[in-house]
Amino acid sequence: MTAPPPTPPASGRGARSALVDAAERLASVTDTPRLDAELLMAHALGVTRNDLLLRHLDEATPDAFEPLLQRRLAHEPVAYITGTRAFWTIELQVGPGALIPRPDSETLIEAAIEHFDDRAPATILDLGTGPGTLLLAALDQWPEAHGLGVDASEQALGYARANATGLGMAHRVAFRIGDWAEGLEGQFDLILANPPYIGTAELLPPEVREHEPASALFAGIDGLDDYRRIVPALPDLLAPGGAAVLEIGWTQAKAVSALGLQHGLLPAVHSDLGGRPRVILLT
């Protein structure tokens, strides 16, 4: 008995050829068109990107794929479309109102690991925690540690709490609404911060400018306003032998280092994978 022919894909072709077409269409709006297309296809199919590439390229293209692609063509970030973003060793829920984790920010975790070496921080503070990116990655790195995340956005903290619960870390972390270090007491072994550091006159890609929260991006004309508030508070918050690890714009190493020295802290600069200054570690 002859088997019935396979059901044709909704788009008239399989995922493999749809990805080729999608990447071509996306080339004008992203530097990573193929990756973006694969992430959207995996989301439409309800599988991981790895599973897509290993097992699902010959499947029918789902009807959901084209609407997702249209959203990306309109410059909406992939992370907002799929609702998730991988960072360090964890997967985070993200969405409008929360800054999307960037690979360059993993430099903060790397710098902290290098500083502590064979020790482990017991207490971790994340200023401007957003969806919990840095704090939850650090807690995953050091399973015995406990942490506090502070953010001025209740919307962002909603993602952070959901992420802590989803990762099984809710018992090890607390989140609170706050204005940087204002009103904080106690000392912490590790302080993490990825503050806004973009100058208000700087140009940004449409997907960033039109979708991510301006409050998490811009910090005055020179991009340094929030460092001027954070760094003076660090000496009272750092435990002996501890470190504060701050993300910076790649042109800001000298200015933020000088600010640290002004407040009695010794700065060390760490570069990202592209070789650009990305982190100031203060002790």
Domain that holds residue 277: 96-282
Is there a domain that residue 241 lies in?
yes
- Same domain? 26 vs 146: no
Is there a domain that residue 88 lies in?
no
In 3D space, the residue among 114, 267, 133, 141 whose CA is nearest the CA of residue 192 turns out to be 133
**Structure confidence at residue 15 (pLDDT):** 96
- Same domain? 68 vs 101: no
Please report, for residues 44, 162, 180, 231, 243, the alpha-carbon distance to residue 228 in angstroms, rounded to integers and kept in the order given.
44, 31, 11, 6, 18
Q: Long-range pairs for 37-43 at CB < 8 Å and ≥24 separation?
A: 37/69, 39/78, 39/82, 40/65, 40/68, 40/69, 40/72, 40/78, 40/81, 40/82, 41/15, 41/65, 43/68, 43/81, 43/82
User: Rounded CA gap, 164 and 268, in Å?
Assistant: 30
- Same domain? 105 vs 55: no
**Structure confidence at residue 203 (pLDDT):** 87
Mean pLDDT, range 146-161, rounded to an integer: 97
pTM of the model: 0.91
- Same domain? 61 vs 142: no
Is 6 a residue whose pLDDT tops 90?
Answer: no
Is 5 a residue whose pLDDT tops 80?
Answer: no
Is 11 a residue whose pLDDT tops 90?
Answer: no
Q: What is the CATH number of the domain that holds 220?
A: 3.40.50.150
- Same domain? 138 vs 276: yes
Domain count, the chain: 2
Is 49 a residue whose pLDDT tops 60?
Answer: yes
Is there a domain that residue 123 lies in?
yes
Mean pLDDT of the chain: 94
Is there a domain that residue 261 lies in?
yes
Q: What is the pLDDT of residues 223-266, one digit of tens each?
A: 999 999 999 999 999 999 999 999 999 999 999 999 999 999 99
Is 134 a residue whose pLDDT tops 70?
Answer: yes
Highest mean pLDDT among 5-19, 134-148, 200-214: 134-148
Is 82 a residue whose pLDDT tops 90?
Answer: yes
Q: What is the pLDDT of residues 63-81, one digit of tens each?
A: 999 999 999 999 999 999 9
- Same domain? 106 vs 51: no
Q: Are 71 and 81 in contact (CB under 8 A)?
A: yes
Query: Would you say how long the chain is, in residues?
Result: 283
- Same domain? 47 vs 122: no
Is 133 a residue whose pLDDT tops 80?
Answer: yes
Q: 85: pLDDT confidence band, cut at 50, 70 and 90?
A: very high
